[in-house]
């Protein structure tokens, strides 16, 4: 038996206590093993089942009001490039396809129909290096439409701006005020022009829940002179600016009538659009016969007092572009890159990117009447126009004509005998038309289907906000 005091019997000493570091190592190894196994299983499952749809994002309102809107499909893993012919949209709608990483972007060429479901199917998607393919499928629902209408007050009551939805009855009062002459949507606010006796005010009214936010003060703009008249209000689609025509009436006469712009990202002070087409503080204003923002841009198409056409960047970042002359601006074709203008020799489509002019098709049914109203473009080849014959008593018997290519047909929109059509304004996606009429008994706005003429809704009002996209100016006749 050993007598060395440093030697002990392991069995006599009892169980050996393991060091904490050994237990940590074993737990770490076990955890890593589980992760590896889970990853391996997932890889096997993924290779056998193919990618899966993880998320879909889109703007329901943007899809019905603006072109070039996207629906983004996100998969649970990276994807090989997806070709355009692998994507099907039902009901059919023109679109393009791009893909990157684990996302697929379906971009629509123009606005979609209101309150409709569209199915997007992507066939045969595959993850890089994996044999299995899968089909991705989703359904999107576009937004419904509504209009803002101006209801003039009667018997001393204030004017009202109301919101009328086409998928529900009744109207909601957004704002009440006296002397409302013009208004326009500006993001989550309204720009409201009020006035009388040759003098106007411009107010920015905040909204909450679609109606005036009583808890937030109304902003009243400082106008260029002590007294002046504001007309022809228009707002850029992105809400970054708005503009109007202004006439100085401080001396009792209209002077320095011209175009002004308000930059909502800056001081909110009206800035003169000078004769050279540049926003310039204190300059002599450009004279304006008609103007409007080009849809989805901060540029404005202006017909000057001398019938020159000028494309003005209301932000002042790019130089103005001269585009010849015109005697009337009718409107813009959907995408916003084409305007319909009248010249001394006819009506043409004006390409705002290169100035090229193409005559519109004008079949006999759209031109064989003494009265020819403004053209309301729907697509590149389709438009609506009000024409009329003179009755024996000198009044007009008006009718609405729809032109599809080289064919003109009457749109069955009912106009009472004692009423006259004051405007025809397409919805942002050209699915509907707002037909405004005036008679001795009052004003009426009828919302009709742009293809069939079927009545969708009506409101006793003098105007709707859809008409704000049209160039201001008197109707042709």
Question: What are the tens digits of pLDDT across the range 396-424?
Answer: 889 999 999 999 999 998 887 788 999 99
pLDDT level of residue 165 (50, 70, 90 thresholds): confident
Quickly state the pLDDT bin for 31 (edges 50, 70, 90). low
Give residue 1's pLDDT.
41
Q: Give me the mean pLDDT over the 105-125 stretch.
A: 95
- pLDDT range class, residue 2, cuts 50, 70, 90: very low
Residue 139, Cβ density class (10 Å: 0-12 exposed, 13-18 middle, ≥19 buried): exposed
State percent of the chain over pLDDT 90: 69
Note the pLDDT of residue 246.
95
Q: pLDDT averaged over the chain?
A: 88
Higher pLDDT, 4 or 200: 200
Query: Which residue ranges make up each domain of the chain?
Result: 21-45, 53-141, 369-477
Q: Does position 26 have pLDDT exceeding 70, yes or no?
A: no
- Over the stretch 348-406, which tens digit does the pLDDT of each residue have? 999 999 999 999 999 988 998 999 999 999 988 899 999 999 988 888 889 999 999 99
> How many CB atoms are located within 10 Å of the residue 39 CB?
10
**Over residues 79-94, mean pLDDT:** 96
**Least reliable range by pLDDT among 129-138, 169-178, 215-224, 330-339:** 330-339
What integer is the mean pLDDT of 294-308? 93
Q: What percent of the chain has pLDDT over 70?
A: 88
Q: Do 297 and 336 touch, CB atoms closer than 8 A? A: yes
Q: Is the pLDDT of residue 96 over 90?
A: yes
The residue among 138, 141, 226, 244 whose CA lies nearest residue 184 is 244
Burial 12-25 (b: 16+ CB within 10 A, else e): eeeeeeeeeeeeee
pLDDT attached to residue 251: 81
- By residue count, the chain amounts to 477
* 145 band by pLDDT with thresholds 50, 70 and 90: confident
pLDDT on residue 12: 43
Q: Is 463 helix (H, G, I), strand (E, B) or coil?
A: strand
DSSP secondary structure code for residue 273 in this structure: B
The second-level CATH assignment, the architecture, of 53-141 is: Sandwich (2.60)
Average pLDDT over residues 193-217: 93
Can you list the pairs that 196-203 forms with residues at least 24 positions away whose Cβ atoms lie under 8 Å? 198/227, 198/229, 198/249, 198/254, 199/227, 199/228, 199/229, 199/249, 200/228, 200/229, 200/230, 201/230, 202/230, 202/244, 202/262
For 418, counting Cβ atoms within 10 Å of its Cβ (0-12 exposed, 13-18 middle, 19+ buried), the class is: exposed
Going by the DSSP 8-state scheme, the letter that residue 365 receives in this structure is: G
Give yes or no for a cis peptide into 91 (omega within 30° of 0).
yes
pLDDT (0 to 100) of residue 208 = 95
In this model, does residue 323 exceed pLDDT 90? yes
User: What is the average per-residue pLDDT within 429-449?
Assistant: 92
Is residue 38 over pLDDT 80? no
179 vs 176: CA distance, rounded Å? 10
Q: Give CA–CA dist 268/222, Å, rounded.
A: 8
Q: What is the pLDDT of residue 42?
A: 47
The number of helices, as runs of H, and strands, as runs of E, in the chain is: 3, 36
Three-state DSSP state, 203: strand
Lowest mean pLDDT segment, chosen from 5-9, 326-330, 341-345? 5-9
- Which is more confident, 174 or 380? 174
> What average pLDDT does this structure show over 157-172?
88
Instruction: Please tell me the predicted confidence (pLDDT) of residue 30.
Output: 55
Long-range contacts for 90-97 (Cβ within 8 Å, ≥24 apart)?
Answer: 90/118, 90/119, 90/121, 91/116, 91/118, 93/118
Quick one: pLDDT band at residue 250, thresholds 50, 70, 90?
confident
- What is the structure's pLDDT at 28? 54
- pLDDT category at 118 given cuts 50, 70, 90 is very high
pLDDT score for 69: 92
Residue 421 and residue 433 in contact, taking contact as beta carbons nearer than 8 Å: no
CB 202 within 8 A of CB 220: yes
CA dist 417 to 255, 279, 351, 398, 420, Å?
Answer: 40, 46, 39, 9, 8
Q: What residues contact residue 107 under an 8 Å CB cut-off, 6+ apart? A: 68, 69, 70, 95, 96, 97, 98
What is the mean predicted confidence (pLDDT) over 169-190? 93
C-alpha atoms less than 13 angstroms from C-alpha of 323 in its C-beta half-sphere = 32
Q: Say whether pLDDT at 75 is over 90.
A: yes
Beta strand ranges found along 188-307 (DSSP E): 189-196, 199-208, 211-212, 219-220, 228-235, 241-248, 255-263, 271-272, 288-293, 299-304
Prediction pTM value: 0.83
pLDDT interval class at 41 (50, 70, 90) = very low
Mean pLDDT over 286-298 rounds to: 92
Going by pLDDT thresholds of 50, 70 and 90, the confidence category of residue 33 is: low
- Flag whether pLDDT at 459 surpasses 50: yes
Contact 328, 341 (CB under 8 A): yes
User: In this model, does residue 333 exceed pLDDT 60?
Assistant: yes
Mean pLDDT for the stretch of residues 329-340: 87
Dist. CA 400–CA 448, nearest whole Å: 11
Q: Does residue 269 or residue 49 have the better pLDDT? A: 269
pLDDT in tens, 210-224: 999 999 999 999 999
pLDDT of residue 280: 95
């Amino acid at each position: 038996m050993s007598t060395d005091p440093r030697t002990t019997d392991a069995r006599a000493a009892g169980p050996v206590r393991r060091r904490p570091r050994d237990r940590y190592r074993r737990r770490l190894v076990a955890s890593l093993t589980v992760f590896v196994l889970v990853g391996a299983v997932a890889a096997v499952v993924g290779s056998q089942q193919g990618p899966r749809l993880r998320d879909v994002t889109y703007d329901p309102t943007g899809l019905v009001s603006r072109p070039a809107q996207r629906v983004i499909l996100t998969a649970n893993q990276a994807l090989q490039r997806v070709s355009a012919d692998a994507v099907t949209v039902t009901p059919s709608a023109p679109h393009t396809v791009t893909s990157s990483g684990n996302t697929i972007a379906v971009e629509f060429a123009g606005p979609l129909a209101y309150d409709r479901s569209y199915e997007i199917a992507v066939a045969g998607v595959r993850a890089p290096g994996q044999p299995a393919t899968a089909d991705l499928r989703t359904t999107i629902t576009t937004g419904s439409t509504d209009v803002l209408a101006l209801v003039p007050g009667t018997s001393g009551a204030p004017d009202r701006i109301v919101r009328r939805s086409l998928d529900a009855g009744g109207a909601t009062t957004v704002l009440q005020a006296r002397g409302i002459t013009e208004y326009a949507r500006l993001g989550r606010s309204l720009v409201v022009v009020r006035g009388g006796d040759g003098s106007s005010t411009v107010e920015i009214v905040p909204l909450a829940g679609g109606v005036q936010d009583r808890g937030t003060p109304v902003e009243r703009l400082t106008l260029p002179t002590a007294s002046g008249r504001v007309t022809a209000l228009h707002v850029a689609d992105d809400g970054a600016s708005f503009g109007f025509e202004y006439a100085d009436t401080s001396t009792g006469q209209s002077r320095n009538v011209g175009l002004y712009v308000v930059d909502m990202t800056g001081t909110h002070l009206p800035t003169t659009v000078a004769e050279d087409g540049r926003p310039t503080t204190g300059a002599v204003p450009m004279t304006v016969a008609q103007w409007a923002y080009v849809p989805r841009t901060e540029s404005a198409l202006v017909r000057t007092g001398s019938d020159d056409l000028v494309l003005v960047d209301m932000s002042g970042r790019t130089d103005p572009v001269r585009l010849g002359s015109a005697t009337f601006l009718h409107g813009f074709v959907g995408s916003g890159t084409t305007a319909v203008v009248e010249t001394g020799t006819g009506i043409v489509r004006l390409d705002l990117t290169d100035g090229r002019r193409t005559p519109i098709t004008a079949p006999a049914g759209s031109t064989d009447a003494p009265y020819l109203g403004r053209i309301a473009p729907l697509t590149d080849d389709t438009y609506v126009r009000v024409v009329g014959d003179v009755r024996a008593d000198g009044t007009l018997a008006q009718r609405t004509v729809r032109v599809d290519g080289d064919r003109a047909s009457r749109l069955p929109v009912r106009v009472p005998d004692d009423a006259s059509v004051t405007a025809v304004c397409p919805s942002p996606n050209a699915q509907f038309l707002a037909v405004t009429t005036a008679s001795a008994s009052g004003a009426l706005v009828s919302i009709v289907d742009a293809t069939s003429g079927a009545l969708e809704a009506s409101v006793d009002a003098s105007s709707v906000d859809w008409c704000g996209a049209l160039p201001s100016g008197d109707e042709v006749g």
